[in-house]
Chains A and B, each alone.
Chain A
Amino acid sequence: MRRFPGLGDRKDFLGGLLILVLGLATGVQASSYDIGSLRRMGPGFFPLGLGVILGVTGVLLMLTAKSPTPPAERLAPEWRGWLCICAGIAAFVVLGQWGGLIPATFAVVFIAARRPAEHGEGFGGAGRGDDGGLRPGVLVAAAGAIPTVTLGLNR
């Protein structure tokens, strides 16, 4: 019933592989700590056990990976949206470090708001006569900056 696991459902197989790798990494790292004995466990004992569990689960996942099902509907990757979200948070940290929370607030909101609004409408929602996420950006950032300042979070 089972063929070569690599030809099975790629999602399950890849997931299993990821878990196996994580388990191995955990095991290697854990064995660098003192393992101790069952009677008097060291700091490495419990994580080592977790590494073993992860590894075994990963192998089981790879072995039981289902045979490929026809892909129902593949969703296109949203690189721009993903990038905007990540960059927004990153900008919050960097600007928060050097400029305080107010610029950081505006940064996270603006960058995050600059993602395409809906499918096929151009970037930043510009297709609908919108201003590239500017209006929601200003509104939200202003609304956000007020409690930030008043609550004294801007330390």
Chain B
Amino acid sequence: MISQSLSDLWHGFGVALLPANLLWSFVGVLIGNLIGVLPGMGALSAISMLLPLTYTMAPIPAILMLAGIFYGSQYGGAIGAILLNLPCHPPHAVTCLDGYPLTQQGKGGTALGITMISSFFAASVGIVVMILASPLLVRIAFQFGPAEIFSIMLLGLLAGATMSRGSPLKGIAMTAIGLLLGVVGTDVSTGTQRFTLGITALDDGVELVALALGLFGVAEFLRSVNRMQAVGGSATMRLRDMRPSLAELRQSFWPMVRGTAIGTLFGAMPGTGPTITTFLAYALERKIARDPSRFGRGAIEGVAAPEAASHSKTQVDFIPTMSLGIPGDAVMALILGALLIQGIQPGPQLITEHADLFWGLIASFWIGNVLLMVLNVPLIGLWVKLLQVPYRYLYPSALFFIAVGVYSTNHNLAQVWEVLAFGVVGAIFAALDFPAAPILLGFVLGPLVEENFRRALLLSRGDLTVFVERPISAGFVAASGLLIAAQLFFWLRAGQSRRRDRISGVVLPATAPIADE
């Protein structure tokens, strides 16, 4: 089975190295890196802005480019986090904790070098895991009927809603809103117009690009207008600064390995976001460190572990997305949406039916990561300059790209209204501390969830026990139950300790539980 995988992978390298595919992969990595570096822009806005471009491309280059944008922007985000203390992308918030103190000590270059090495290492491990795990998963996945698909999606949605940072109830509410947005449009089996509010433009449903750009582009601008501090730091970076010493390498080797392990573990679990992964990796390092007080003051381990975790998670995340159609987070949901638009149905048959796409993608990950390394060595100086682009240039141009991007999707101006509407709605939700990412997850999965729910109950003649009678499905349902039980437990325990604190008169500052460990 492994030899089959290896020969498929060999074929994949052939696909990924075709000049056209290689070019798109390179373009994706370059643009992703560029957008990721810019303050206030993360993988989500990068991918949703460029999604319309891929509609006219063939499926393979389109997916290769989107994947390239994804890991390119992730890497770019780390640069802003380390050099300027700007967490452009939530998972990098942890990297700031120790990355920026390192910059202040004049060792920002070393931190970037370590970041580069650990992301490359972690991505390579993630790719190996993908190669080993995919054939196994395919065998299991072939036993999946509608009931199993519904239960695993339920688990993924619940995990996405409750395991991100913030209130789990709010996450659940946002997931339901996303599912509801997925319902909008013409019902496939009866032709009924649902929730179109009499607007003809909504007959075909809500446009994915408009939703994503509204929630993560316009809403973000509405929130950050005039609140982005201009960055005056004039950090210069030379190639020589980026080479870590042998001692620093040795110091960050095990954190790198542990971070990779955490990322791999969480990547395989559908619905767990990247932020929680990086926070866990950081917390673990601090817990086992001989001198935990070094953390937060420029410990190189505090950069290596979370960066490794986020990159290995990125790679492994593609397994549930491609083979089961369950995206791990909002970015994966966008990539899943792109696959669906290209007419490719993710699922166990994807690996066998679209072998060139799947293995080509895996091969391109590795090639893309090599490209990233090669690209960042000479361009690091340019990225540092880009970080200082004034916000007043940046954001009108981003707004322009959003408007034109959405319009060009279908040459439909009505969808630009959609962007504006979702932007305002997203800003209101954000102001009330609701997370936006579960909306996208729910939206992409919504139609699939409904279809499989209906089909499963049609097959079982309306018998709801079908979801617990089949062993695989029962496992997912049990896991969902456990997840809810665990949340209830934590909530009750937090309530108890709050009450205790009130009695003893101690007022604790409200902090995120994970970041505080």
Contacts and interface: CB of A to CB of B under 8 A. Distances in A.
Interface of A: 1, 11-12, 14-15, 18-19, 22-23, 26, 29, 33-34, 37-43, 45-47, 50, 53-54, 57-58, 60-61, 64, 69, 75, 78, 81-82, 85-86, 88-90, 92-93, 96-97, 101, 104-105, 108-110, 112-113, 115-119, 125, 133, 136-137, 139-141, 143-144, 148, 153, 155
For B179, B222, B400, the residue with the greatest tally of chain A CB atoms inside 10 Å of its CB is B400
A92 B416 contact: yes
25 contacts: A11-B433, A14-B432, A26-B180, A39-B457, A39-B461, A40-B458, A41-B458, A43-B190, A46-B183, A50-B180, A53-B172, A54-B177, A57-B172, A78-B225, A78-B227, A85-B221, A86-B423, A86-B424, A89-B416, A104-B403, A109-B400, A112-B400, A140-B397, A144-B400, A144-B401
A43 B411 contact: no
Interface stretch (B258-266, B369-377, B388-396): B388-396
For B190, B403, B419, the residue with the greatest tally of chain A CB atoms inside 10 Å of its CB is B403
A50 B404 contact: no
B105 interface: no
By Cβ-Cβ distance, the 10 closest A-B pairs, closest first, are A39-B462, A81-B225, A38-B462, A15-B432, A43-B187, A43-B192, A112-B396, A113-B396, A92-B403, A57-B173
B510 to A, nearest CB: 6
Contact of B392 (A18, A26, A53, A113): A113
Contact of B403 (A19, A43, A89, A113): A89
For B169, B172, B461, the residue with the greatest tally of chain A CB atoms inside 10 Å of its CB is B169
Contacts of B408: 153
A115 to B, nearest CB: 6
A33 B185 CA distance: 13
Contacts of A41: 453-454, 457-458
Contact of B399 (A14, A60, A108): A108
B434 interface: yes
B18 interface: no
Given A1-B495, A46-B183, A137-B396, A39 B404 contact: no
B176 A96 contact: no
B462 A108 contact: no
B450 interface: yes
B475 to A, nearest CB: 23
A2 B402 CA distance: 45
B225 A96 contact: no
B357 to A, nearest CB: 26
A96 B190 CA distance: 36
A23 B433 CA distance: 18
Contacts of A104: 403
A92 B417 CA distance: 10
Contacts of A15: 170, 173, 432-434
A121 B482 CA distance: 54
Nearest to A64: B169
A46 B225 contact: no
B433 A116 contact: no
A61 B176 contact: no
Contacts of B411: 155
A79 B453 CA distance: 44
B226 A119 contact: yes
Contacts of A97: 413
A34 B397 CA distance: 46
Contact of A139 (B172, B393, B458, B462): B393
A1 B180 contact: no
Contacts of A1: 495, 499
B204 to A, nearest CB: 16
A19 B428 CA distance: 12
Contacts of B173: 15, 19, 54, 57-58, 61
A136 B458 contact: no
Contacts of B400: 105, 108-109, 112, 140-141, 144
A38 to B, nearest CB: 4
A37 B177 CA distance: 23
Contacts of A153: 404, 407-408
B450 A112 contact: no
A18 B461 CA distance: 37
Contacts of A43: 187, 189-190, 192, 194
Contacts of A109: 396-397, 399-400
Nearest to A145: B400
Contact of B420 (A12, A40, A89, A119): A89
